[in-house]
Amino acid sequence: MRNIFLFIRRYSNLLFFLLLQGYSIYLIVHYNRYHNSVFSNTTNQLTGKVNEQYNKVEDYFYLKKINDSLVKANEKLLNQLKADFIASDTGRKIINDTLLVDSIKQYRRYNYMQATVVSNSVSTQSNYIVLHRGEAQHLKKGMGVVDINNAVVGIITDLSDDYAVVMSLLHKDSHIDGKLIKGGETGTLSWEGDAPNIVTINRISKSAKVAKGDTIITSGNSSTFPKGMLIGYVTEVIPEKSSNNYLIRLKTAADFHSLQYVYVIDNKQQEAINQLLEKAKQQNK
């Protein structure tokens, strides 16, 4: 017994070192992004406060750039106004619909919410973006995030009351579905971890016609992003030797270096879809 105490006293530093090192590695391995804990809430809240102060200063340096892109976005929207178009046929007449159920009524499916970026990284192998908008402002986990020109940025993975953490497209675990705008073939996006504006898309078969400069958009298969949001432009097409697929590199449409404002997309039908999926899973059991 005495020897044990002597041993502990003698090697207390080594033991303490191993304990701290072990705890750090435990944190790396077991930190689960989808598991919200009190811990991550408080640290997010604290670091978010500091980031916000810094962002107040940094904002000024990007004002011109933001202004330019807003003008562009505005121009695009103005061009879609109804008043811009003149109906060519004169033979139209208005018919009063007498049906009780209004079949023309449209339901809102996607809702956009603006958010400010308070911190942003592109240099590590798992990059996150922090937004100054959180659970108290109607954000939920799994919502998609796009930049001001509707280019895909990432998906919300962590929330606190006033801040949200977004797993960016530049993250080794990020898997978003993409689609070729020309042929419609779909594949999964992933990031190789080196260049902060190049992502790869795989599982696109060699029968697809792909050329440099082709546009890749969101597929709309998952409920996170609406169909047709910009992801990027093809820069390189590499045929895989061992399979029947292409490996395609693309340049992201979003500029991850200078994100200041983003839109969070809320799918109003998400809950209905989830309930259906749950139901299907239970029936299969």
Partner 1 sequence: MNSLIKNIIRFILLILVQVYVLDQIHLHKMVTPYLYFIFILWLPFNMNRSMQLLVAFALGFTLDCFRHNPGFHSAACVLIAFVRPFMINLLIPHEGADGNYDEPSIKSMGGLLPYFIYVAVLTLIHNAWLFLLEAWQFGNIWYFLVKTLLSAAISLLLIIITELLFVRKQKFRTNTV
CA-closest candidate to residue 115, choices 279, 263, 216, 235: 263
CA dihedral 23, 25, 28, 30 (to 10 degrees): -70
Span interacting with partner 1, options 65-73, 194-202, 225-233, 234-242, rule CB under 8 A: 194-202
Q: Hey, what amino acid is at 92?
A: R
Q: How far is CA 61 from the centre of its chain?
A: 25
> What is the CB neighbour count within 10 angstroms for residue 118?
25
Site residues for partner 1, 104-123, by CB under 8 A, read 119, 121-123
Site for partner 1 (CB under 8 A): which residue of 6, 46, 78, 273?
A: 46
User: Is residue 7 part of the contact set for partner 1 (CB under 8 A)?
Assistant: no
User: Is residue 103 part of the contact set for partner 1 (CB under 8 A)?
Assistant: no
User: Is residue 195 part of the contact set for partner 1 (CB under 8 A)?
Assistant: yes
Shortest reach from residue 240's CB to partner 1, in Å: 18
Residue among 51 and 150 whose Cβ is closer to partner 1: 51
Q: How far apart are CA 45 and CA 57, in angstroms?
A: 19
User: Is residue 43 part of the contact set for partner 1 (CB under 8 A)?
Assistant: yes
User: Is residue 188 part of the contact set for partner 1 (CB under 8 A)?
Assistant: no
User: Is residue 128 part of the contact set for partner 1 (CB under 8 A)?
Assistant: yes
Residue among 165 and 201 whose Cβ is closer to partner 1: 165
Shortest reach from residue 75's CB to partner 1, in Å: 31
Within the chain, strands assigned E span 110-120, 126-131, 144-147, 152-159, 164-171, 177-180, 186-190, 198-205, 215-218, 230-239, 245-252, 261-267
Span interacting with partner 1, options 23-31, 138-146, 233-241, 260-268, rule CB under 8 A: 23-31
- # binding residues, partner 1 (CB under 8 A): 37
User: Is residue 26 part of the contact set for partner 1 (CB under 8 A)?
Assistant: yes
- What backbone torsions phi and psi does residue 183 show, to the nearest 5 degrees? -95, -20
Q: Token pair of 34, please?
A: 């989808």
Binding flags for partner 1, 144-183, as an x/- string (CB under 8 A) = --------------x------x------x-----------
CA-closest candidate to residue 167, choices 111, 212, 129, 218: 129
Residue among 22 and 228 whose Cβ is closer to partner 1: 22
Q: Token pair of 26, please?
A: 């435990």
Residues in contact with 210: Cβ distance below 8 Å, sequence separation at least 6, in sequence order = 180, 182, 183, 204, 234, 237, 246, 248
Shortest reach from residue 119's CB to partner 1, in Å: 7
Burial class (CB in 10 A: 0-12, 13-18, 19+), 166: buried
Residue among 113 and 198 whose Cβ is closer to partner 1: 198
Instruction: Summarize as ranges the residues that interact with partner 1 (CB under 8 A).
Output: 12-13, 16-17, 20-21, 23-29, 31, 43-44, 46-47, 50-51, 54, 119, 121-126, 128, 130, 158, 165, 172, 193-196
